């Protein structure tokens, strides 16, 4: 098993951390230790730790959910001294394997909530970051305000000194730091959300306001919430993939991560209590993240969801299979060049057509083996984040709606869980309840349009769009997806 002892005898070609693990501090606490975080933020911090004067920025990971799976994950991190391997693969199959040591501790919150609070309150903790998914911020899509009516939030508000949610933990820690005179920490969202720093601000201050107006005012005055744009394709790792990664690397790693060789992180430089020298590790610091975010969300993420929905219906299971299909590649290129790119205000120096070509290369990487079910997971949240701006601009400008309508239709049909070959699959939709899924699967082809996924443009005149979606769904069911592709 990979751990600090075996680190001394790594197989040839596997890179060890370029710093002494014993010297690494605990400057960051991160909620949501998934594969993306481990291939992205932790990878950047790992590069920083190898630089002079950066040893304080090690990471404490926190898992919020209980249950057997979460407990097994915590045990694996502890047994491996929080080490894991990252395999980066280029589009032509060249692999680089590194052991990442930036994660220095892992805490399972339900098992030891006091330890989590102790870490958050520790003056050495200067940044609290998170990857809690696009739908994890508990924001009411209609009002834009933090929801106080969900069971988990109500439970934390009733017992704020023993929290269970990320909002409860962070705000209780800030309350204790304020009382002790310790000072604030930066709250850093690393999720695929438009203006994710503003969303995080609304969520955490909204929760604090429901508890204590003075505390909320102190947080607003002292805590910073930088916006960020994150990008790296990081697929899930199942048992077969784990076995293949270990066979290729020669390691015995229970927690390997696989990622493409491309990575990007664009950040606002708004850190209230210091930060790592991330600019020396490849992070771009800019005054306004919004333009970069729009390019990524409306091109990469939107096309991913479009191709994922269509690909699942055709019987594909991996992202690279979709762009190897000439008709789906044509669909993606048409969406980019005719719907998305003409309506994006790109930052100076960003070449959208070069970005489009790079996306095709990234999507085509078979070694990454990114599953379409992962890409489409929590699609109801992703539709709101990835498609809303392009849909709204197209409705307002009177541009053709055929590809947008087809994408919405394919997403709704994908929710039925059966492809055109008769194979079944299970869509991963944590924010949709049984009644909402039934709307998507109904023989009333207009029923699915009531889903909250489409609330982002419900205030506009969608008569033509709704009719086009219904027509596309009818065609997909009667003629098949391929015959229904927009011209």
Mean pLDDT of 357-363: 95
Instruction: Tell me which DSSP letter residue 338 carries.
Output: I
pLDDT score recorded for residue 487: 86
Mean pLDDT of 227-235: 95
Nearest Cα to Cα of residue 372 among 416, 319, 417: 319
Mean pLDDT of 136-160: 94
SS3 260: strand
pLDDT band at 389 (very low <50, low <70, confident <90, very high): very high
- Angle between helical axes of 302-314 and 352-363 (0-180°, round to 10): 40
pLDDT band at 141 (very low <50, low <70, confident <90, very high): confident
Mean pLDDT of 53-58: 98
pLDDT score recorded for residue 91: 87
Q: What contacts 24+ positions apart, CB below 8 Å, involve 209-218?
A: 210/146, 210/148, 210/157, 211/157, 211/160, 211/171, 212/175, 215/171, 215/174, 215/175, 215/178, 218/174, 218/178
SS3 78: helix
pLDDT band at 342 (very low <50, low <70, confident <90, very high): very high
Residue 66: CB atoms within 10 Å: 13
pLDDT band at 134 (very low <50, low <70, confident <90, very high): confident
Give 196-206 pLDDT, tens digit per residue: 999 999 999 99
Residue 181 CB-density burial (10 A; 0-12 exposed, 13-18 middle, 19+ buried): exposed
> Hunting for tokens 């604030």 — which residue is that?
184
User: Hey, what are 137's tokens?
Assistant: 């911020």
> Hunting for tokens 């009411």 — which residue is that?
140
> Which residues are CB-contacts of 356 (< 8 A; sequence separation ≥ 6)?
299, 333, 336, 337, 341
pLDDT band at 275 (very low <50, low <70, confident <90, very high): very high
Residue 394 CB-density burial (10 A; 0-12 exposed, 13-18 middle, 19+ buried): buried
> Are β-strands 95-100 and 84-89 bridged in parallel, bridged antiparallel, or unpaired?
antiparallel
pLDDT score recorded for residue 212: 97
Residue 419: CB atoms within 10 Å: 19
Q: How many Cα atoms occupy the beta-carbon half-sphere of 31 within 13 Å?
A: 28
> Are β-strands 186-189 and 284-285 bridged in parallel, bridged antiparallel, or unpaired?
unpaired
Q: DSSP E strands: which ranges in 64-143?
A: 84-89, 95-100, 103-108, 127-130
Give 294-315 pLDDT, tens digit per residue: 999 999 999 999 999 999 999 9
Q: How many Cα atoms occupy the beta-carbon half-sphere of 319 within 13 Å?
A: 30
User: Hey, what are 139's tokens?
Assistant: 């924001």
pLDDT score recorded for residue 404: 97
Rounded CA-CA distance 122/188 in Å is 17
Separation of CA 146 from chain center:
20
pLDDT band at 17 (very low <50, low <70, confident <90, very high): very high
pLDDT band at 216 (very low <50, low <70, confident <90, very high): very high
pLDDT score recorded for residue 66: 93
91 against 325, higher pLDDT: 325
pLDDT score recorded for residue 127: 98
pLDDT band at 132 (very low <50, low <70, confident <90, very high): very high
Q: How much is the mean pLDDT over the chain?
A: 96
Rounded CA-CA distance 108/74 in Å is 6
- Residue 142 scores a pLDDT above 90: no
Q: First CA to last CA across the chain, in angstroms? A: 54
> Hunting for tokens 């339900």 — which residue is that?
110
- Residue 194 scores a pLDDT above 90: no
> Hunting for tokens 């911020």 — which residue is that?
137
pLDDT score recorded for residue 193: 87
- Residue 482 scores a pLDDT above 90: yes
Nearest Cα to Cα of residue 306 among 411, 428, 442: 411
Which strands form 84-89's sheet, in the order they lie side by side? 14-15, 95-100, 84-89, 257-260
Helix (H) or strand (E) holding 367: none
pLDDT band at 25 (very low <50, low <70, confident <90, very high): very high
pLDDT score recorded for residue 192: 87
pLDDT band at 135 (very low <50, low <70, confident <90, very high): confident
């Amino acid at each position: 098993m990979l751990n600090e002892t075996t680190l001394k005898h790594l197989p040839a070609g596997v890179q060890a951390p370029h710093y002494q693990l014993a010297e690494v501090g605990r400057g960051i606490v991160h909620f949501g230790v998934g594969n993306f975080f481990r291939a992205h933020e932790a990878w950047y911090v790992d590069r920083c730790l190898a630089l002079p004067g950066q040893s304080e920025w090690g990471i404490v990971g926190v898992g919020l959910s209980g249950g057997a799976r979460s407990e097994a994950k915590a045990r694996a991190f502890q047994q491996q001294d929080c080490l894991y391997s990252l395999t980066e693969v280029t589009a032509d199959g060249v692999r680089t394997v590194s052991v990442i040591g930036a994660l220095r501790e892992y805490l399972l919150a339900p098992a030891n909530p006091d330890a989590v609070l102790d870490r958050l309150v520790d003056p050495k903790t200067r940044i609290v970051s998170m990857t809690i998914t696009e739908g994890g911020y508990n924001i009411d899509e209609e009002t834009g305000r933090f929801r106080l009516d969900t069971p988990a939030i109500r439970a934390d508000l009733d017992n704020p000194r023993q929290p269970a949610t990320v909002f409860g933990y962070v705000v209780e820690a800030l309350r204790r730091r304020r009382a002790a005179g310790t000072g604030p920490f930066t709250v850093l969202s690393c999720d695929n959300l438009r203006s994710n720093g503003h969303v995080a601000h609304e969520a955490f201050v909204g929760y604090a306001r429901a508890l204590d107006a003075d505390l909320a005012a102190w947080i607003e005055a002292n805590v910073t919430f930088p916006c960020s744009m994150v990008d790296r394709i990081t697929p899930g790792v199942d048992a077969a993939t784990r076995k293949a990664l270990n066979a290729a690397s020669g390691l015995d790693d229970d927690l390997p991560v696989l990622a493409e060789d491309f990575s990007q992180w664009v950040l606002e430089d708004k850190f209230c209590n210091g930060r790592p020298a991330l600019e020396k590790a490849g992070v771009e610091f800019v005054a306004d993240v919004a333009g970069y975010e729009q390019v990524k969300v409306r091109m990469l993420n939107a096309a991913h969801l479009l191709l994922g929905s269509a690909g699942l219906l055709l019987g594909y299971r991996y992202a690279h299979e979709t762009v190897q299909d000439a008709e789906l590649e044509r669909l993606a290129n048409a969406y980019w060049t005719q719907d998305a790119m003409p309506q994006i205000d790109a930052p100076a120096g960003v070449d959208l057509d070069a970005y489009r070509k790079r996306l095709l290369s990234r999507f085509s990487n078979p070694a990454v083996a990114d599953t379409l079910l992962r890409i489409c997971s929590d699609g109801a949240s992703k539709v709101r984040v990835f498609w809303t701006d392009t849909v709204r601009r197209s409705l307002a400008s009177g541009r053709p709606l055929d590809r947008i309508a087809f994408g919405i239709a394919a997403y709704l049909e994908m929710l039925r869980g059966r492809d055109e070959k008769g194979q079944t699959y299970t869509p991963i939709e944590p924010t949709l309840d049984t009644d909402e899924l039934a709307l998507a699967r109904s023989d009333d082809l207009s029923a699915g349009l009531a889903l909250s996924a489409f609330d982002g443009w419900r205030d506009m005149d969608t008569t033509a769009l709704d009719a086009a979606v219904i027509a596309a769904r009818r065609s997909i069911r009667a003629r098949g997806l391929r015959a229904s592709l927009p011209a």
